[in-house]
Amino acid sequence: MHSSWWLTFLLVVPLVGAIGAALTRKREGRAYAVAIAASVLELALSLVVAFLYNDHVAKAQTFDFATRHVLSAPFGLAYDVAIDGISLLMVVLTALTVLLALLGARDRRQEPAFVAWLLLLTCFTMGSFLSHDLLEFFIFFELTLIPCYFIISQWGGKERSKAALKFFIYTFTGSAFLLIGILYLAFAHQHQLPGSALTFSYSALSATAMSHGTAVWLFIAFAIAFAVKAPIWPLHTWSPLTYAEAPTAGSIEMSALLAKLGTYGLLRFAVGLFPLALVSMRPVILTLAVIGILYGSMLACTTPDLKRFVAYSSLAQMGFITLGVMSGSTIATVGAVLLMFNHGVITIGFFLIIGFIEKRRGSILIKDFKGLQGPAPIMAALFTVVMLASIGLPGLSGFVSEYLILIGTFATHSWWAVVATFGVVAAALYLLWAYQRVFHGKAEGANAEMADATTHEQWVLVPVILLIVVLGVFPKPVLDRITPSVQQLIHHVAPAGVNK
Amino acid sequence: MKLVIPSIHYLAILPVLIFFGAALALVLASALARGKVPLGVATLTVIAAAAASIVANYFQWRCVAKAGASVTIAHAVVLDDFSVVASGVIALSVIMTALVAHDWAIRERVSGVEFHILALASASGALLMTQANDLIVIFLGLEILSIGLYVLVAFDRHRSTSSEAALKYFLLGGFASAIFIYGAALVYGATGSTNLSTISYFLGTNVLLHPGLLYAGGALLLVGFAFKIAAVPFHLWSPDVYQGAPTPVTGLMASIVKVGAFAALIRVLISALGTQLDTWRPILWILIVLTTLVGASLAVVQRNVKRMLAYSSINHAGFILLGVWAGTIRGTAATLFYVITYAPIVVATFAIVTLIGGVGDEHHSIERYQGLARRQPWLGAALAVLLLSQLGAPLTTGFYAKFAVLASVVDAGGGALALIALISAAIAAFFYLRWAMALYSDDGPEADRIVVPRATAVVIGFGVAVTLVFGIWPGPLVTLAQHATVLFTP
């Protein structure tokens, strides 16, 4: 068992960075320097935690770095942090995302408020992934809305007010269900143990006995909140507008990272706490996931602009993650957790490149582009790698995770896996077609004069490409850390013998 | 016949005496002094009186800790931790309002001390309501509170909307009082007493074969309260009155009326009629659903921020009612916690609205706020924090207030009710955010810098500090609210 101070530092560093950045004057890039320093430190810390992480600490528990301090007993409010292999990966992704988002948003370096909001968002997201207490998780989960709201509404595109409001109201409404569900569960737990204090501790609440009906209702309440966040079809309608209107760094944070809060929550809380509900709810959510895969792929083919394109392709990818999370198979769940990370990295790549193009051309409409390959070969090459990873080409990261999800799901729910496999084909279709329209052909006019990626831009994308290749070839260290935690979760959820 | 003077425990009614005494002193001073009593003296008197009342609250608290809750003046007035905390909140709101009103009076060239006299008198009514253990005393408090407010609402003689609002408030308020006292009479008929403890004892030891009279009486009492807290469908006066009243008065109304009325409502429903829980709960259920949803939905379509805040306060009233609906110690504590945290926030919000209103107190359209945070970052940020707190965002007291009442309702088996209320909060988020967004928009009108007078700045700073400090660390306030309801006699 390692000291929980590591996790506290993970929370404090971006917070201090945000305050520091906000306090600097608008002098050339000082806030930006503070923010970069904070996020580099954060990434370093998260890597140290990843190396220190020990997957069998206490008996049958894979949670390390744990601590719990009750802050207000009548409210059951506590500071309770711990990580297992699943959250560990998300923690690394959080630190990585903010660093790359900041590096990609170098043209905003004179705006202290912008970088401060980004760091604050990182602190809150980190808090959600570190929380081992439902109330604490909820607080952080809700808090992430505020920086997002301000980032979109102040630095977004033309329809930013509408996008910001839509995003906020959607998520806020979703989390209403979550809060009531959490309260219901906590009181059910308290009433079972007369005289006990109100607690929202994950480990305590996961032992709550409940009837099948209660479990189903609570599962639905939790699932609504997480399905909005992820997004899972049909609660995705906020996402295309929001991703398209947000500034590039905001789109990166929301699709690469915050979307994972949805699937992470689904796995950790909805699945982890209500195993009884799974028998009846699994087919429902699996069906929604498969519909999301096909629907997202279809709309990605027809959408007119690049950011919406990534939004719809993300919807399809979130469908795959949901499929893995709900499959009940250890292999598929491991794949889903890995895909959460890989999809994060891939999306960062997509949005960075789209951001670079948007900066040059002031447009993200696919019809405005043609033959960019000619004037910008390096950018085209980088886009190709990211795209191929997203398609799931063997040897790149996307393949490993999708493959795990599909074989795992096939073992437990074969028909859903069969239909979902068409999603892989569809991904190749929409990605290659979009690539063709944007990069192929003969460039004319403004397209012909577009500058290629600068050295800075190339360097920002290097970590993305590296991760895509390395995790495609050698995912073992990551899988080793995820697997015990997933095994334990699946074991807790399903009676022995059902696992495959 | 011999007149028996009941024994009086003066410490118990000391805050009421201080407030009313200070009001009388100001009346005398303005009558006797040569020339006019300076505004500063009046403001200082109010602050001193309220501070003295808070000191008295401290001694009351110690007295209760030592001797337990007690009743005095023929069991009509109660001294317990609940009343002590509620009185403290009222005194605090009065201090904040006095500071805001001071700067407002200078700006509007209102001379004279009437404003402060009426505020003190009104607040003494609210204090009395928190301590009332008798329907008649509640009625007395309600009337003292209201009569002062009727005049205060009409205080802006230059604006016809102010007089209009006062007339509306007065007429409807008069009806509500009549309904309340009729309800009290019916309850007396059914139980043989107007004393809350006696009613509770009677209902606990007797079975009413024909409870119709009691039900009718209880329902009328509820209507009276619903009017005062502006619960839908008894809310129609509130947007007009909030809009018409001078803005500092609106802040005062939103804070002390809520504290006083909810304290009394809890005593009536939970202390006196606690045995009838199953009867009043369904009525309250409907009232809460209507209040939260209608309040939030109608706020969305407003362009005038004072009307918007009126509907927002209706929505908040619905939330506070949730704690009453729970009917448990946890619910009572949650209600108290809600009003403790809500009062400073709402007074501070109205302090900012007073500033932006400008000379004449007339500029309250939301366009006026466009780009405020760009021109004046601190003022804009303060308002943004206050709005986020009203919205219920985490790290502000608004979140824990909502959390507390929702927890008590879920605990009492009202999951659906809690969900409906929370969805109304999502609707309400729409207009808080629209306002916050206006603050940060680029295309603001070319407006002059708004000068923030020192006293108002203190009030705004205090409101923001309370909501942030206790939003991060709610422990002390939670414990206070919890402690204040432990000795509460249900």
Model confidence band, residue A496 (pLDDT cutoffs 50, 70, 90) = very low
Question: CB within 8 A of B15, min separation 6: which ones?
Answer: B53, B56, B57, B60, B87, B91, B127
Rg over CA atoms, chain B: 21
Calpha distance A486→A111 (Å, rounded): 42
Confidence band of A498 (pLDDT split at 50, 70, 90): very low
Can you read off the two tokens belonging to residue B13? 């009614």
A164 contacts B394? CB cut-off 8 A:
no
Please judge whether A168 and B393 are an interchain contact, meaning their C-beta atoms are less than 8 angstroms apart. Answer: no
B423 neighbourhood in chain A, CB within 8 Å: 173, 176
Task: Give the residue from B50, B96, B108, B94 showing the smallest Cα distance to B455.
Answer: B96
The whole-chain average pLDDT of chain B stands at 89
B475 touching chain A per CB within 8 A: yes
In this prediction, residue A58 carries a pLDDT of 58
* Residue B320, domain member (yes or no): yes
Task: Note whether B478 contacts A143, CB cutoff 8 Å.
Answer: no
Identity at A138, one-letter amino acid code: F
What confidence score (pLDDT) does residue A288 get?
A: 92
Contacts of A349 (CB under 8 A, 6+ apart): A382, A385, A386, A389, A461, A464, A465, A468
Q: Cis (ω within 30 of 0) for the bond into B394?
A: no
Q: Residue holding tokens 């947007």?
A: B239
Question: Is the Cβ pair A146, B333 closer than 8 Å?
Answer: no
How far apart are the C-alpha atoms of A345 and A348, rounded to whole Å? Answer: 5
Interface of B with A in 75-104 (CB under 8 A): none
Distance to chain B for A74, nearest Cα, Å: 7
| Section A14-40 average pLDDT | 82
Considering the domain boundaries, does residue B97 fall inside one?
A: yes
Low-confidence winner among A57-71, A77-91, A199-213, A238-252 (lowest mean pLDDT): A57-71
Partner-chain contact A164 B437, CB within 8 Å: yes
Q: Average pLDDT, stretch A458-477?
A: 88
Window A:12-31, CB contacts with B under 8 Å: none
Residues of chain B with pLDDT under 70: 1, 444-446, 487-490
Q: What is the dihedral of CA B370, B376, B377, B382, to 10 degrees?
A: -80
- pLDDT the model gives residue B86: 92
Structural domain containing residue B81: 14-486
Nearest C-alpha of chain B: how many angstroms from A395?
44
Residue B430 sits at the chain A interface (C-beta within 8 Å) = yes
Query: Can you give the pTM of this predicted structure?
Result: 0.91
Instruction: List all residues 6 or more positions away from B327 whose beta carbon is below 8 Å from its beta carbon.
Output: B269, B270, B274, B277, B281, B412
> Is residue B425 within 8 Å of residue B388, measured between CB atoms?
no
Of the candidates A74, A177, A183, the beta carbon closest to that of B410 is on: A183
Residue B322 belongs to a domain: yes
Give dist(CA B246, CA B104) in Å, integer.
Answer: 9
* CA atoms of A455 and A452, how far apart (whole Å): 9
Residue predicted with more confidence, A62 or B286:
B286
Residue B4, domain member (yes or no):
no
Q: Which residues, other chains included, contact A59 with Cβ-Cβ below 8 Å and sequence gap of 6+?
A: none
Tell me the HSE value of B420 on the side-chain side, using a 13 A CA sphere.
18
Assess A75–B contact: CB distance below 8 Å, yes or no.
yes
Residue B5 lies in a domain: no
Number of domains within chain B:
1
Q: Which residue of chain B has the CA closest to A72?
A: B475
Please judge whether A146 and B388 are an interchain contact, meaning their C-beta atoms are less than 8 angstroms apart: yes
DSSP secondary structure of B290-309 = HHHHHHHHHHHT--BHHHHH
pLDDT digits (tens, 9 = 90+) for A223-271: 999 999 888 888 888 888 888 888 888 888 888 888 899 999 999 998 8
For testing contact with chain A, the best of B390, B477, B478 (most A CBs within 10 A): B478
Structural domain contains residue B9 = no
Examine residue B301 and state whether it is found in any structural domain, yes or no: yes
Q: Report yes or no: A161 at the B interface, CB cutoff 8 Å.
A: yes
Q: What distance in Å separates the CA atoms of residue B292 and residue B322, rounded to the nearest whole number? A: 10
- How would you label A374-398 residue by residue, b for 16+ Cβ within 10 Å and e otherwise? bbbeebbebbebbbbbbbbeeebbb
A451: closest CA of chain B, how far (Å) = 31
Contact A126, A65 (CB under 8 A): no
Would you list the DSSP string of B150-174? HHHHTT-TT-HHHHHHHHHHHHHHH
Kindly report the CA angle at A454 between A453 and A460, in degrees rounded to 5? Answer: 85
Do B361 and B108 touch, CB atoms closer than 8 A? Answer: yes
Q: Residue for token digits 């009232």? A: B287
DSSP A364: -
The answer to whether the beta carbons of residues B395 and B489 sit under 8 Å apart is no
Interchain contact, B394 vs A187, CB within 8 Å: no
> Does the ipTM exceed 0.90?
no
What's the mean per-residue pLDDT of chain A? 86
Among B410, B429, B441, select the one facing A172 at the smallest CB separation.
B429
Alpha-carbon separation of residue A260 from A71, A87, A251 (angstroms)? 28, 11, 13
| Residues of chain A neighbouring B430 (CB-CB closer than 8 A) | 165, 169
Between CA B215 and CA B225 the distance in angstroms is: 15
Per-residue confidence (pLDDT) for residue B22, from 0 to 100: 93
- Which pair of tokens denotes residue A320? 């795959």
**Given CB atoms, is B329 within the 8 Å cutoff of chain A?**
no
Q: How far apart are CA B100 and CA B351, in angstroms?
A: 6
Min CA distance, A76 vs chain B (Å)? 10
Q: Is residue B315 part of a domain?
A: yes
Kind and range of the H or E run holding A79? strand A77-83
Cβ atoms < 10 Å from Cβ of A71? 17
Which residue in A has a C-alpha nearest to residue B391's C-alpha?
A172
Buried b (16+ CB within 10 A) or exposed e, B126-139: bbbbbbbbbbebbb
Residue of A nearest to B432 (CA): A165
User: Is B479 close to A74, i.e. CB distance below 8 A?
Assistant: yes
Q: Looking at beta carbons, which residues of chain B come within 8 Å of A176?
A: 419, 422-423, 425-426
Strand partners, A80: A68
Within 8 A of A177 by CB-CB distance, chain B residues are: 419
Q: What is the pLDDT of residue A500?
A: 41
Is residue A27 over pLDDT 80? no
A153 touches chain B (CB under 8 A): yes
Note which residues in 381-440 of chain A have CB less than 8 A from chain B: none
